[in-house]
Amino acid sequence: GVMEKLGLGPEVLLQENPRLIYARLTGFGQTGKYAKSAGHDINYLALSGVLSKLGRKNENPYAPVNLLADFAGGGVMCAMGIVIALFERARSGRGQVIDASMVEGVAYLSSFLWKSQNLGIWSQPRGENLLDSGAPFYETYRTSDGKFMAVGALEPQFYNQLIEGLGLNLDELPAQMSFSDWPEMKKKFASVFAQKTQAEWCSIFDSSDACVTPVLSFDDVASHQHNKERSSFIRNDQGEMSPRPAPVLSRTPAVPSCKRDPFVGEHTEEILLEYGFTKQEIAKLYSDKAIEFKNPKANL
């Protein structure tokens, strides 16, 4: 309701411009019991049902930072809604309002969890299933130098290469999908991984299809050979590292800026002047604390 209070709600603006696409990104959505309630990523994740699936055995559910509801279920799904509305407008000539709820966005994003319930993938309690740290062959393991390796050897042919790389004998181990043996197998794998450094395990598994990769830190990720070959990470003019824009388009790829991120308010005066505000009007907005400046050289 904030935009309505400013007299800039969708009903008003769509009358002015029927082609307008008006995206409304909120946690709980535009209607419903919680519509006007405060919340954060963990709350939206909880209400979507997804949080109940995240966590290890005998531990509380945990939220993976604020990536799922805020950025994936919120930002990315909202952006997709805008793209869909743009595509539809090319046919109808009309805009529309997008109600992007983070609860519904992350729930829809997790459709796989709902559609695969009858496949046996999620038949066990949290943390005891194939993809949620229950399986010994889909897990992370600590190395002798305190780093980690990620294992995702789901298919039998990949699992066989994992066992070979670990120096174990397949014939002496329980069947891969023997659920009751998974806890003991995790202990065995952990013991083996703890005997070598991350670099040593990389030298063993890098040329195989065992689906074993190093868990890279932010400090290491840009120097890894694969990422380096693809220029997956870039530095700005301050030497700060960030991911290159993705996905990469063949004809019109994004051209990332190598400038540092702007300070809050750094370009306020410049932009307002460009839009026709006078310096006196800008000074009044600043004195009313409606805008903010960061640039100490602002000359009003």
Q: Catalytic residues, which ones? A: 40, 70
Partners of 235 in the β-ladder = 241
**What is the token pair recorded at 149?**
């390796």
**Per-residue tokens: 277:** 């505000």
- Cβ atoms within 10 A of the Cβ of 175, count? 9
Q: How far is CA 296 from CA 277, 280, 285, in A?
A: 20, 18, 17
- Partnered with residue 243 across adjacent β-strands are 233
